[in-house]
Amino acid sequence: MRIKYFQDTDTLYIEFRTAQVAETKDLDEDTILDLDRDGNICAITVEHARDRADFPQFSFEQVAAH
């Protein structure tokens, strides 16, 4: 997984998998979902991210399976 924040355009890009995008869906005016040919999520793009998320606060936690 890769997360990129483009400060100049206030765009957050979350890539879940590197795959060829077969379909792009607009979830709303500022959120785009990219899917591969099997319908798996490749990435999510969030426009106006500062207004829609808690920036610059960010943390990542991987939780081990029990």
Is residue 26 packed enough to be buried (19+ CB in 10 Å), middle (13-18) or exposed (0-12)? Answer: exposed
pLDDT for 63: 73
CB burial of 28-58 (b: ≥16 within 10 Å; e: otherwise) equals: eeeebebbbeeeeebbbbbbebeeeeeeeee
The structure's pTM equals: 0.80
For 12, other C-beta atoms within 10 Å of its C-beta total 21
pLDDT for 53: 74
**Model confidence over 7-56: pLDDT tens digits?**
899 899 999 999 999 999 999 999 999 999 999 999 999 999 888 876 66
DSSP assignment, residue 39?
S
